[in-house]
Amino acid sequence: MRRITAVVLGTVTLLAATTTTASAVPDPVAAVECLTQSAGDLTTVVDPSAPGVPAEVPGVSCLAP
């Protein structure tokens, strides 16, 4: 009986430890608005003074929740 109780308790503890308690859900309307505003930034992807240096891709900041 003790062995069954220990197995059940261990299983419950493992399941409780592996489940996520909360997750961030980005707002789709805000993400679309941010992406449409950053569409004009496509001209800044390549810096003429330093073409070999990678620039920040427009819209990446919109993905953060």
Q: Is residue 1 part of a domain?
A: no
Residue-number span of the structural domain to which 59 is assigned: 23-65
How many domains does the chain fold into?
Answer: 1
Q: Report the predicted TM-score, pTM, of the whole model to 2 decimal places.
A: 0.41
| d(C-alpha 12, C-alpha 59), whole Å | 42
Q: Is residue 60 part of a domain?
A: yes
Q: Is residue 62 part of a domain?
A: yes
Q: Is residue 31 part of a domain?
A: yes
Q: Is residue 14 part of a domain?
A: no
Nearest to 58 by CA among 38, 33, 30, 37: 38
| d(C-alpha 20, C-alpha 52), whole Å | 42
Q: Is residue 56 part of a domain?
A: yes
Question: Which pLDDT belongs to residue 27?
Answer: 77
Which residues of the chain are modeled with pLDDT < 70? 19-24, 42-47, 53-55, 58, 63-65
Q: Is residue 39 part of a domain?
A: yes
| d(C-alpha 14, C-alpha 8), whole Å | 10
Question: Which pLDDT belongs to residue 42?
Answer: 67
Q: Is residue 17 part of a domain?
A: no
